[in-house]
Amino acid sequence: MKKVAIFTNHYAPENFRINALVDEFKKDLEVDVITQIPNYPHGDYYPGYSVFKKRTEDKDNVHIERLFAIPRKNNKIMLSLNYISYALTSFVYGLFNKRKVDHVLVYMTSPIFLSWGALRLAKRNQVKSTAYVLDLWPGSLIMILNIKNKFIQNKLYTLSQNIYKRFDHIVVSSPAFKDELVSMGVEAYRISYIPQHADEISEQPIAPVLMKDKLEIIFAGNICQAQRLDLIVDAVACLKARNQHKIHFTIVGDGRYKTTLEHLIETQDVSEYFTLVGRVEPSKVKSYLENKHFGYVSLVNVSPINKTIPAKVQSYMAYGLPILAASPGALNDFVSEVEGGLVSEDVSAEGLALTLESALRINNEQWMSMHTKARDYACEHFDIIEGVKKFKKIMKEGI
């Protein structure tokens, strides 16, 4: 195998882990990256990119094709148009592009429609295809767009099922995805598990933090409805009602739900418990993780969202930051198994408030144990080099 085509919804300059994967693949393979004109997360084309600028690039053994897609802007209608337009242009690419490849890999975040073009390209080249599933459809789409119509839900299920079944191999980023795919008709022997890597393993972990009078917790990542950040606002309101002021959240990131989150904080009158930083450069995230006791992660309790292990988990653990998880399902199970943090089994405002009060009672020895276990697990399981070796083995040997 000499050349791989990678279809992805996002690529540099957008900040996704696919960027680092491509950097590893290109060390001994030619790589074609098929993506859209960058417009995530703010919804407009990045400066220097447009329908007429930087559509095709060649960089260090990587050929990049940026296909046309309507920018997602900041509403559901434009987001839907973005999905549809990129689905069409990627399909046309797969149908007519004459570049030869030895394997086709899809980095499958939402939406999965780019798979049509990828599968068409694989068929034209008579090569095998692999999907790396990071968002499980149609559940992700139904939740994002709040689709209530059962007819549309069923059509989306059938569409997603047909896409998954056409891949030669599927790699999942969460073990819980496997059962869901099997229920959709994908044979179990065609499914493998490779967790998302953590770029941060190569860096030094955060310095140990003493458990003092105030609990410092951070959330770093995309601020969207699926992250269930309203839960921490409600939990903090419970704590304020019983005169507990020793907890503080730092929110680093941006997203479609940020304005709503700010409104909730103001409405509940809990601004003193929160610092909202906004989006920062990836290189600066570690500075915000320093002097924090826990990295917060939660997800809505809706299948298949609750089967996901968000990428921020790998980042927190790579830095040795214990996790505070509030999501019944795969996330809570994972954190409990690793013993790299605390979980709130009762995912309600009062339940999380009680977990936060429990966290206040943790001593330095207990925190260091979680810190060490999180870092050690990340170094063993989230290394990008080992992950890419597994991908190459799958792509070379097939099923």
Q: Write out pLDDT tens, residues 280-318.
A: 888 889 999 999 999 999 988 887 888 999 999 999 999
Within 97-138, residue ranges assigned H as helices are 114-125
User: In the chain, what are the domains?
Assistant: 3-197+383-397 (3.40.50.2000), 200-381 (3.40.50.2000)
Report, as an integer, the average pLDDT of 150-175.
Answer: 95
In this predicted structure, the answer to whether residue 3 has a pLDDT above a threshold of 60 is yes
Question: ω before 328 within 30° of 0 (cis)?
Answer: no
Examine the pLDDT at 397 and tell me if it is beyond 90: no
pLDDT higher at 307 or 118: 118
d(CA 215, CA 362): 10
In three-state secondary structure terms, 149 is coil
Give the mean pLDDT of 260-282: 94
**Cβ partners under 8 Å of residue 39, min gap 6:** 45, 46, 69, 71, 72, 82
| Top-confidence residue, 144 or 55 | 55
Neighbours of 355 (CB within 10 A): 19
Name the band, by pLDDT with cuts 50, 70 and 90, for residue 398. Answer: low
pLDDT at 329: 85
Mean pLDDT of 101-108: 97
Look at residue 366 and tell me whether its pLDDT is greater than 90: yes
Asked if residue 75 has pLDDT above 90, the reply is no
Choose from 98-112, 195-209, 212-226, 295-309 the range with maximum mean pLDDT.
98-112
Of 27-36, 72-81, 137-146, 335-344, the poorest mean pLDDT is in 137-146
Inter-residue contact 144 to 43 (CB < 8 Å): no
Q: What is the mean pLDDT of residues 173-184?
A: 94
Q: pLDDT band for 161, please (50, 70, 90 cuts).
A: very high
pTM of the model: 0.89
pLDDT of residue 91: 96
> CA distances (Å), 367 to each of 152, 198, 324, in order?
47, 22, 12
131 pLDDT more than 80: yes
| Mean pLDDT across 165-187 | 95
Give the C-alpha distances (Å, rounded to integers) separating 352 from 92, 223, 359. 48, 19, 10
Q: Please compute, for residue 317, the number of CA atoms within 13 A of its CA located in the half-sphere on the CB side.
A: 29
Position 145 pLDDT exceeds 80: no
Computed over every residue of the chain, the mean pLDDT equals 93
In the prediction, which pLDDT does 212 show? 77
> Stretch 228-242: mean pLDDT, rounded?
96
